[in-house]
Amino acid sequence: MRENSARSGAKSGSGDSAQALLPGTVPVDADPRVRVLLPLPLREAYDYRVPAGMTLVPGDYVEVPLGPRRVLGVVWGDGAGVVAAARLKPVVRRFDVPPMPEVERKFVEWVAAYTMTPPGHVLRMAISVPSALEPAKATLAYLRKPDAEPPPGFKMTDPRRRVLALLDDGPPRTPAELAEEAGCGVTVVRGLAEAGLLEPVLLQPTKLGRPDCHRPGPTLSADQEAAAADLRARVESGVYSTVLLDGVTGSGKTEVYYEAIAAALKAGRQALVLLPEIALSAQWLERFARRFGAPPAEWHSELTGAQRRDTWRAVANGEVPVVVGARSALFLPYKNLGVIIIDEEHDSAYKQEEGSIYHARDMAVARAHIGGIPTVLVSATPSLETKVNADSNRYARIELPGRHGGAVLPDVELVDLRKDRPPARHWLAPSLKKAIEQTLAEKEQVMLFLNRRGYAPLTLCRACGHRLQCPNCTAWLVEHRLARKLQCHHCGLSQPLSPTCPECGEEGTLAACGPGVERIAEEVAELFPDARAAIMASDTLFGPRAIQEMVRRIADHELDILIGTQVMAKGHHFPMLTLVGVVDADLGLAGGDLRAGERTYQLLHQVAGRAGRGERPGRVMLQTYMPEHPVMQALAAGDRDGFYQLEAEMRLEAGMPPFGRLAALIVSGEDAAAVEKLSIALGRAAPRSDTVAVLGPAPAPLALLRGRHRRRLLLKAPRTVQVQPLIAQWLEQVDIPPNVRVQVDVDPYSFL
């Protein structure tokens, strides 16, 4: 990673005079100075002068000059005193918010060091809402004025039209939000307002609920009570620990960790709950509100600018007792965090793959350690990492046996597609079809699971054999018949469906290969014309409200058959759902990724857990071509620990995580030759020893992504080796040209 050199401010920490000073001391004759970390990809903090009359403490949010700009920063400590006083620029102002707590500053540094990203880059996640630093006030926003006509001579340009169209559909928004969403300047919005086409309204600060920790929860079973007591004691003790809360879906894990939240609130501290896909978790939010009498504060990408600002500030002021959020919620400025809960800790959504590459579960454990608080990892199918940590007593373990209220786990059957064959161009085996008929006759609900959006994953020309491929990525274009489009699921490219082959020009020769959920829906409509069916996938449901509405329709039995991707596998509770059919259980096993088996097991187990959550027993049918595969065998036998045992033995033998360490370098750029050249240089400079091996460079499976060529190198080392210093030395040996990027991925989860 390249670093910008300072254009203003002055670099500290190097030079001779620094040696003469004790850390943290300031020459007596100099102006007071502070080190300020800026949210930019810089390796170090810069010194600034503290102007007369201003007092600064570490953690204070400040505005400082950087070249011609003014930027936000955080006071990181005393100045290093290297740069001559005359060259120092003064701090412009200090923001009137509580300083960033020391725990959080340490956390920023820890994450930066572990993930090998510049601290400023990590800091940017921690000050993601600069407007939150200004005092909360009612904000000016606009609505569309009904029936207002543009004044004579007012030209309706495209950007103006886009802003008006946005306001036709949706809540009032600030000029900045409108400009961003419409992709235009704020002046466009102002122009519309001056022309009388917009109605100004004042948005009041977001109302954040006050969950009441004294409301009683349900009466817990003896096992649940023991688990809750353990968690309460950990929260009250206020020391670091990590505990795995392990129990099948429906065993009451959520009920139990609510008790940990209540304990934190009673101790006057804040609680953070991470969910893998908070935007999909309407049922979770409703349930929380029922338990505590008020909703938690949410933190995820669907919030409006005003909600983000008000939430950030309230978290900093300690006014928000409970935050539920996506992984970025780890970087909020908690005044007094008392517990972190990571629900579905095994979920791969916790790995952030862009920008700063980090795993939120692992960072949460680090955050808990730095803050001296407990963290609870919750799962019915823990990650192998967590399982091994619990087995070796690095983490504590609490087990909840059995489903609450005696609901039984569903029966899992394997449907052998080699024998029980669907008819040509159909994907539901005769036995699954029969089970659906029976379920519908009982007036119960069916869920068909296929983790593939769209109609067909591949389109092929029957005349010339051409396969429709994305021009920017190593990927097939996926047909979305409902939207009448071909789409790339990697770069978002979208083009209209055409009847002619782009290669040979023949008409009517393009054939869809393989199924996506849309194609299964077609088959369902053909086989069960009277059943009420719907698709549930991230591209057929726009936003949390649409998902919430879909979940309600299922829960109220307005639908008989639900066809969905993993969007519907998460957390929902549907009492009348008694049959789950997995259309292609083998799907996740292709590709030979390190965690393919583990992930497939976890996903299918979670999908299976949707069946029979009410009083009626559930049935799960997995369609597979590999019924003898250990994943399928373990699912059918309900032998989770047997599967983990086997998986662990394989990883141990191969020296793979969690028994060994991996780190990946991803070299990418638009210039294929430059990428190749740097990859080769990195390959030559690679650290190699008796214990450390470097594989590659090899073209990444996604060798072309969004128009960038990509090569990968993979470093493999024993658990005892710290890989960061090795990688730092490695990178120092090559010159990275400006048109090539090298990303470091410590503990990679994606090998694409």
Nearer to Zn ion, 447 or 470 (CB): 470
Residue 472 binding: pick among ligand ADP, Zn ion, none (C-beta 5-8 Å cut-off by kind)? Zn ion
* Least gap, CB of 707 to Zn ion (angstroms): 8
The dihedrals phi and psi of 729, each to the nearest 5 degrees, come to -65, -40
595/602 Cα distance (integer angstroms): 10
Residue 249 binding: pick among ligand ADP, Zn ion, none (C-beta 5-8 Å cut-off by kind)? ligand ADP
**252 interacts with ligand ADP by CB under 6 A:** yes
Does 491 appear as a known binding residue?
yes
* Least gap, CB of 247 to ligand ADP (angstroms): 5
Residue 15 binding: pick among Zn ion, ligand ADP, none (C-beta 5-8 Å cut-off by kind)? none
Nearer to Zn ion, 491 or 636 (CB): 491
Residue 375 binding: pick among Zn ion, ligand ADP, none (C-beta 5-8 Å cut-off by kind)? none
**Element housing 78 (H / E):** strand 69-78
Q: Taking CB under 6 A as the criterion, which residues in 545-574 touch ligand ADP?
A: 573
Nearer to Zn ion, 387 or 708 (CB): 708
Task: Candidates 144, 173, 253, 351: give the one binding ligand ADP (CB under 6 A).
Answer: 253
Reduce the DSSP state of residue 174 to 3 states and report it: coil
How many CB atoms are closer than 10 A to CB 623?
Answer: 24
DSSP 613-650: -SSS--EEEEEES-TTSHHHHHHHHT-HHHHHHHHHHH
Does 470 appear as a known binding residue?
yes
Does 213 appear as a known binding residue?
no
Strands 297-299 and 561-564: unpaired
Q: Taking CB under 5 A as the criterion, which residues in 484-523 touch Zn ion?
A: 488, 490-491, 493
Question: CB under 6 A: which stretch of 208-216, 251-259, 324-332, 704-712 binds ligand ADP?
Answer: 251-259
387/598 Cα distance (integer angstroms): 12
* Least gap, CB of 224 to ligand ADP (angstroms): 5
- Residue 409 amino acid letter: L
* Least gap, CB of 521 to Zn ion (angstroms): 25
Q: Could you give the C-alpha distances from 204 to 292, 297, 521, 611, 623, in angstroms and in order?
A: 24, 16, 44, 43, 53
659/347 Cα distance (integer angstroms): 20
Residue 221 binding: pick among ligand ADP, Zn ion, none (C-beta 5-8 Å cut-off by kind)? ligand ADP
**276 interacts with ligand ADP by CB under 6 A:** no
Residue 557 binding: pick among ligand ADP, Zn ion, none (C-beta 5-8 Å cut-off by kind)? none
* Least gap, CB of 114 to Zn ion (angstroms): 31
Q: Taking CB under 6 A as the criterion, which residues in 667-686 touch ligand ADP?
A: none
Q: Taking CB under 5 A as the criterion, which residues in 429-488 touch Zn ion?
A: 470, 472-473, 488
653/720 Cα distance (integer angstroms): 16
Q: Tokens in use for 629?
A: 């595969």
Q: Taking CB under 6 A as the criterion, which residues in 372-411 touch ligand ADP?
A: 404
Task: Candidates 47, 78, 104, 255: give the one binding ligand ADP (CB under 6 A).
Answer: 255
Residue 289 binding: pick among ligand ADP, Zn ion, none (C-beta 5-8 Å cut-off by kind)? none
**640 interacts with ligand ADP by CB under 6 A:** no
What beta strand segments (E) does 103-207 contain?
139-144, 198-203
Nearer to ligand ADP, 47 or 223 (CB): 223
Does 513 appear as a known binding residue?
no
Residue 1 binding: pick among ligand ADP, Zn ion, none (C-beta 5-8 Å cut-off by kind)? none
330/335 Cα distance (integer angstroms): 13
Nearer to Zn ion, 489 or 610 (CB): 489
Q: Give the largest Cα separation in the chain, rounded.
A: 89
**Element housing 68 (H / E):** none
Nearer to ligand ADP, 254 or 578 (CB): 254
Nearer to ligand ADP, 177 or 255 (CB): 255
568/446 Cα distance (integer angstroms): 12
Nearer to ligand ADP, 81 or 252 (CB): 252
Reduce the DSSP state of residue 387 to 3 states and report it: helix
Nearer to Zn ion, 520 or 705 (CB): 705
Listed residue (636, 637, 654, 642) closest to 592, CA to CA: 654
* Least gap, CB of 516 to Zn ion (angstroms): 17
Query: The dihedral of CA 328, 331, 334, 337: what is its sign?
Result: positive
Question: CB under 6 A: which stretch of 218-226, 499-507, 650-658, 670-678 binds ligand ADP?
Answer: 218-226
Task: Candidates 12, 139, 224, 487: give the one binding ligand ADP (CB under 6 A).
Answer: 224
Q: Could you give the C-alpha distances from 647 to 291, 320, 630, 637, 643, in angstroms and in order?
A: 38, 42, 9, 16, 6
* Least gap, CB of 585 to ligand ADP (angstroms): 22
Nearer to ligand ADP, 249 or 600 (CB): 249
CB contact at 8 A, 449 and 581: yes
Listed residue (546, 544, 576, 543) closest to 561, CA to CA: 576
DSSP 391-452: HTTSSEEEEE-S-GGGPPPPEEEEEETTTSPPPTT--S-HHHHHHHHHHHHTT-EEEEE-S-
* Least gap, CB of 476 to Zn ion (angstroms): 10
* Least gap, CB of 407 to ligand ADP (angstroms): 8
CB contact at 8 A, 611 and 412: no
**249 interacts with ligand ADP by CB under 6 A:** yes
Residue 301 binding: pick among Zn ion, ligand ADP, none (C-beta 5-8 Å cut-off by kind)? none
479/633 Cα distance (integer angstroms): 33
Nearer to Zn ion, 166 or 493 (CB): 493
**627 interacts with ligand ADP by CB under 6 A:** no
* Least gap, CB of 464 to ligand ADP (angstroms): 52
Task: Candidates 12, 117, 174, 221: give the one binding ligand ADP (CB under 6 A).
Answer: 221
**99 interacts with ligand ADP by CB under 6 A:** no
485/341 Cα distance (integer angstroms): 41
**505 interacts with ligand ADP by CB under 6 A:** no
Task: Candidates 250, 371, 410, 515: give the one binding ligand ADP (CB under 6 A).
Answer: 250
- Residue 16 amino acid letter: D
Listed residue (597, 593, 560, 600) closest to 576, CA to CA: 560
Nearer to Zn ion, 483 or 531 (CB): 483
Does 473 appear as a known binding residue?
yes
385/344 Cα distance (integer angstroms): 13
How many CB atoms are closer than 10 A to CB 640?
Answer: 19
Nearer to ligand ADP, 221 or 623 (CB): 221
Reduce the DSSP state of residue 309 to 3 states and report it: helix
DSSP 506-529: -BS-EEEES--HHHHHHHHHHH-T
**289 interacts with ligand ADP by CB under 6 A:** no
Residues lying near ligand ADP in the complex (CB under 6 A) are found at 218-221, 224, 247, 249-255, 404, 573
Residues lying near Zn ion in the complex (CB under 5 A) are found at 470, 472-473, 488, 490-491, 493
Q: Detail the residues annotated as belonging to a binding site.
A: 461, 464, 470, 473, 488, 491, 501, 504
Q: Detail the residues annotated as belonging to a binding site for Zn(2+).
A: 461, 464, 470, 473, 488, 491, 501, 504
